[in-house]
């Protein structure tokens, strides 16, 4: 799992924005994670608790907003979620399509004081 | 009245943005030097190194080829390639589960890009992590192998949907396995309708010619920015 490197990038980004806002402390980090981004929340949290020690982000709450993976049907253009095992287009019954979301991994905002 | 102490700072930033940036720089460098780059991804043991060897054989007289090996901690794979007389650089991932763009950039210092037409990068054996990290490659290549099962696309939609070309390796073993090709193909088509698909055997050489021809054609189509 690559969550250590990923968590470090995430922490750096949060600290950068906190400093720019002249904040003393980060209380919460709001993250958006796509269903197929390959990011495991629990291990991000685990590494975060460890590497944020002694930084203004120590003790911050990590919030993970999950984005479901979605297809766009190549036959009819309908968008629909990638449900486990059932990938038929609800409009035209064709199977699957192009993945249009679900790979996201970004920081929406931080809460500071 | 008490003043609210906290405030929200909007960020909206891709956490892997730094990797994307370096990948773009790598891609720019590859385009400038005319190096066509493949990122070869698969589970451990699927046949990444074998495919790289099979791809080198028919092309080595036509193209100047080099290899970057990201797999495992040892230099076994890099030694296998260097044994063919092909320049090979081993990336020490320090136990990481995927290559990233900066690792590839560091590895480039061990290669002379002016003297390379085709660069094959063997990623770390892993079906989840490598998809999130662009290296600057022109093509994302996935190797799946028949013993892994026909349900692989259903279990790893992230990678199956992200690649440009999929090779199903070890088709020589099909008679021995409960592998339903239709189930596999249906999963692949659902996730990635435009993917180029090649059933191959790196053991017998079956299917390799079709793959290599396709690869040459894609390279001739030029470098997309
Ligand atoms: N039967 C069979 N074995 C293969 C084939 N391709 C590779 N192998 C074997 O699978 C094992 C792993 O191959 P390797 O290329 O090292 O996989 P990697 O870990 O993905 O680089 C080796 O023992 C290969 O000899 C194939 O097409 N058929
Ligand atoms: Mg290998
Ligand atoms: Zn449809």
- Looking up residue A12, the CATH number of its domain turns out to be 3.30.2320.50
What does the pLDDT look like over B27-38, one tens digit per residue?
A: 999 999 999 999
Where residue B96 falls among pLDDT bands split at 50, 70, 90? Answer: confident
Q: Give yes or no for a contact between A108 and A15, defined as CB atoms under 8 angstroms apart.
A: no
Give B221→chain A minimum CA distance, Å: 23
Decide if A93 is inside a domain: no
Decide if A74 is inside a domain: no
B7-14 and A105-112 beta bridge pairing: antiparallel
Which tokens hold the place of B13?
Answer: 């930033």
Atom number of ligand 1 nearest to Cα B44: 19
The beta-carbon neighbor of B9 closest among A38, A85, A110 is A110
pLDDT at A43 over 90: no
> What per-residue confidence (pLDDT) applies to A83?
78
Structural domain including A56 reads 2-68+102-112
Helices (H), chain B: 17-33, 48-59, 76-82, 101-108, 152-155, 157-160, 181-191, 208-220
pLDDT at B208 over 80: yes
Cα(A90) to ligand 3 centroid in Å equals: 7
Of the bound ligands, which one is closest to the alpha carbon of residue B148? 1
Rounded mean pLDDT of B95-115?
92
> What per-residue confidence (pLDDT) applies to A50?
95
Which is nearest to A7 in space by CA: A53, A68, A69, A72? A53
How far apart CA B64 and CA A38 sit, in angstroms, is: 35
Main-chain dihedrals φ then ψ at residue B198, nearest 5 degrees: -135, 115
For chain B, which residues make up each domain, given as ranges? 2-220
Rounded mean pLDDT of B92-96?
75
What does the pLDDT look like over A53-105, one tens digit per residue?
A: 999 999 999 999 999 999 999 899 999 998 776 788 999 998 888 999 999 99
Atom number of ligand 1 nearest to Cα B80: 16
Considering its fold, how many domains does chain A have in total?
1
Contact B15 A87 (CB under 8 A): no
CATH number, domain B2-220: 3.40.50.300
Decide if A17 is inside a domain: yes
Where residue B1 falls among pLDDT bands split at 50, 70, 90? Answer: very low
Contact A69 B157 (CB under 8 A): yes
Which is nearest to B217 in space by CA: B151, B165, B147? B165
ipTM for the complex shown: 0.87
What does the pLDDT look like over B175-190, one tens digit per residue?
A: 999 999 999 999 999 9
Decide if A87 is inside a domain: no
Which pTM value belongs to this model? Answer: 0.90
Taking 3-state DSSP, the helix, strand and coil percentages for chain A, each rounded to the nearest 5, stand at 25, 35, 40
Decide if A75 is inside a domain: no
How far apart CA B223 and CA B30 sit, in angstroms, is: 9
Which is nearest to B13 in space by CA: A23, A24, A32, A34? A32
To test the contact with chain B by mutation, choose from A1, A2, A16, A20 the residue with the greatest count of B C-beta atoms within 10 A, namely A2
Identify the residue whose C-alpha is closest to ligand 1 atom 23. Answer: B45
The beta-carbon neighbor of B128 closest among A17, A38, A110 is A38
Q: Give yes or no for a contact between B126 and B43, defined as CB atoms under 8 angstroms apart.
A: yes
Average pLDDT, chain A: 92
Instruction: Find the farthest-apart pair of alpha carbons in chain A and give their distance in angstroms, rounded.
Output: 55
How far apart CA A26 and CA B222 sit, in angstroms, is: 48
């Amino acid at each position: 799992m690559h969550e250590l490197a990923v968590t470090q990038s995430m922490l750096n980004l949060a600290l950068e924005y906190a400093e720019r806002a002249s904040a003393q402390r980060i209380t919460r980090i709001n993250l958006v994670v796509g269903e197929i981004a390959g990011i495991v929340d629990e291990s991000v949290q685990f590494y975060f608790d460890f590497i944020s020690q002694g930084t203004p982000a120590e003790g911050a709450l990590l919030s993970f907003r999950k984005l479901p993976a979605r297809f766009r049907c190549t036959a009819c253009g309908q968008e629909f979620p990638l449900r486990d095992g059932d990938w038929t287009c609800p409009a035209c019954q064709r199977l699957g399509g192009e993945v249009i979301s679900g790979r996201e991994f970004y920081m929406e905002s931080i809460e500071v004081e | 009245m008490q003043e609210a102490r906290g405030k929200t700072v909007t960020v909206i930033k891709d956490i892997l943005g730094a990797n994307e940036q370096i990948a773009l720089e790598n891609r720019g460098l590859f385009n400038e030097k005319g190096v066509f780059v493949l990122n070869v991804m698969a589970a451990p043991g699927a046949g990444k190194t074998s495919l790289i060897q099979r791809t080198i054989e028919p092309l080595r007289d036509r193209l100047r080829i080099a290899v970057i090996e990201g797999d495992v901690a040892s230099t076994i794979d890099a030694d296998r390639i260097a044994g063919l007389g092909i320049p090979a650089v081993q990336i020490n991932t320090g136990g990481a589960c995927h290559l990233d763009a900066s690792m590839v950039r560091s590895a480039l210092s061990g290669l002379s890009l002016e003297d390379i037409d085709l660069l094959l990068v063997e990623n770390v054996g892993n079906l989840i992590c490598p998809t999130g990290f662009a290296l600057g490659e022109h093509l994302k290549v996935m190797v799946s192998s028949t013993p892994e099962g026909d349900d692989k696309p259903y279990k790893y939609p992230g990678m199956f949907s992200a690649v440009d070309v999929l090779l199903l390796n070890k088709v020589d073993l099909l008679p021995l396995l409960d592998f339903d090709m239709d189930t596999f193909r249906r999963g692949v088509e659902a996730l990635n309708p435009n993917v180029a698909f090649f059933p191959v055997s790196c053991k017998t050489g079956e299917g390799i010619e079709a793959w290599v021809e396709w690869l040459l054609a894609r390279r001739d189509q030029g470098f997309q920015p």
